[in-house]
Chain A
């Protein structure tokens, strides 16, 4: 490393850095530029002053409630996913054949994606699906419950795609923690519960915060299942749906960009809060001692 930096100081330019140029240019052209363009476009409404789009969003009855609709889906889904994934991942932290099997099984719903899950749920959870059949076998089951074309359908689909994601992420954080630390704690008199509380949890906190953010951001931008499985006219009219309608049904790209910016901004606030909380915890290597 030292020889490299000194070489950098001597030579005016290091040609190896050019290798990063194509990727950088690509990202600037197709990620940064569209984002800035969208930001600019959101202040150039079809009619009205420069804030007209934002004014419209926060006054129109079919726009501003989408924020709460989305949060009401995304926050519970994220809490469920992270909350269930943490104890299960902790239980399965030791490398074994089961661990490999479960991770392999759980990666399937992630790869299949939300569209296929929505399609399957329509039949499986539908009024004539297998789940309804199974429930009818229960003695205390009264009348049909509806799990599609409403809030619950979308929430379930967010758990089906989000839980495996949270689980795999947390598992990778937990297995990164040196198990010798827990063994050291046990020789010092820490019971398994105390080991979790004093060793694993503090070391895991930054990872958990990160996992919460990623899982939340995924749930927050829910689109296909909200349309296919929910009630897109009402209870599951999420913010990404509003943005999509503005762009591709009303062809108002300016308003659509404004909604996308608001959407990004709300996500940013939640992420900033969670990562801010993370700052309260230790961040650093999760192995004891050197080497």
Chain B
């Protein structure tokens, strides 16, 4: 078992399952990524996208159907989980209900034959790291959800694994605790200085935690990039939709110069940035509600005349639903007051109207 490493390489890692009626499907299709020491990677996608499958494959809990996993020059995909030496935090924590907090955390060390004295010391350090000192003799059933969560993290990191795997560790916590623990996880990751792979379906979690995000859908990687890139430049319409580009309308392509694309749908004209290779006759334009503003654009460009349909008050701003002259429904966030029936001019900067090839929704 390696304690330290410089990179983990996944090469075309594939996992097939027998589906309904015996037809095999790829729950994970050729995942290729190289993870460096110190990196925090988030696997992001809706449920059933293959992110947990990927994590279980790396942990060794699921055998691969194809591809290889290498830790530096050591091939590990053929090793059983107990020989890989990764730390894992499970969604429901999977704390051993019959062992005290102390024994839960020390379990991995005992399995490695670490001496009793050293185990005690390292468990104490781990408890301090997750701020649970004083709880060591309780059983998991006597702890709150947040405390159980931290025991699970301590148990995974006390063995000083090269890689910590986390499977939606915050999904069972309430909203407030979730944000607190998120910061905690980031802090622990930095103190440990190894690598973390974190599975989640929550964009905010992925954006705030990760150095790089892997967006997945139906077992296939859609985009691997830094959070800023994923947020501002989604590689395709799926990623865009998932990252909150709520307004998607289909339009005709009028012409393109470089990245800049001119679009038209009857009376409406828009220019946007092409995110994918040359669009054909039709294209989809995606815009965030936050990036549409009320008022005219410079020289009246990219401006639409709309009628307000719905207003959802949200404190700092409101989510306003509007309809264009062509009947397309759009949403925008604005601090200005608006009422249903109002006529408005709205405008979106050309660089924030992203143009994609049309795909079925």
Contact = CB atoms under 8 A, between A and B. Distances in A.
User: Do A and B share a direct contact in the complex (Cβ within 8 angstroms)?
Assistant: yes
Interface stretch (A26-34, A119-127, A188-196): A188-196
26 contacts: A181-B97, A183-B81, A184-B90, A184-B95, A187-B59, A187-B82, A187-B84, A187-B87, A187-B88, A189-B85, A189-B108, A189-B111, A189-B112, A190-B111, A198-B96, A203-B97, A203-B98, A282-B98, A285-B141, A286-B97, A288-B90, A288-B96, A290-B92, A290-B93, A290-B145, A291-B172
B94 interface: yes
A289 interface: yes
Contacts of B152: 289
Nearest to A291: B172
B107 A190 contact: yes
A187 B93 contact: no
Contact of B148 (A180, A183, A194, A290): A290
A187 B61 contact: yes
A285 to B, nearest CB: 6
Interface string A179-211: 011011111111100100011001100000000
Interface of A: 178, 180-181, 183-191, 194, 198-199, 202-203, 281-282, 284-291
Contacts of A198: 96, 107
B159 interface: yes
Contact of B81 (A178, A186, A285, A286): A186
Contacts of B165: 187
How many interface residues does chain B have, given as a range?
Answer: 35 or more
B86 interface: yes
Nearest to A187: B88
A197 to B, nearest CB: 11
A291 B149 CA distance: 13
A189 B82 contact: yes
Contacts, number: 101
B15 to A, nearest CB: 16
Query: Which of A281, A285, A289 lies at the interface centre, i.e. has the most chain B CB atoms within 10 A of its CB?
Result: A289
Nearest to B155: A188
A199 B81 contact: no
Nearest to A206: B98
B98 A190 contact: no
Contacts of A287: 92, 97
B272 interface: no
B86 A187 contact: yes
A98 B141 CA distance: 35
A286 B154 CA distance: 21
Contacts of B93: 288-290
A65 to B, nearest CB: 42
A17 to B, nearest CB: 31
Contacts of B340: none
B80 interface: yes
A35 B342 CA distance: 85
A191 B82 contact: yes
B97 A284 contact: yes
B107 A284 contact: no
Closest 8 pairs between A and B when the two form their complex, measured CB to CB: A289-B93, A282-B98, A188-B108, A288-B94, A189-B111, A184-B94, A186-B81, A187-B88
Contacts of B33: none
B139 interface: yes
A180 B159 contact: no
B94 A289 contact: yes
B94 A181 contact: yes
A189 B97 contact: no
Given A181-B96, A185-B96, A290-B93, 20 more contacts: A178-B94, A184-B90, A186-B60, A187-B59, A187-B61, A187-B88, A187-B165, A188-B82, A188-B107, A188-B156, A188-B159, A191-B82, A202-B98, A284-B97, A287-B92, A288-B90, A288-B92, A288-B95, A289-B152, A290-B145
Nearest to A203: B98
B325 interface: no
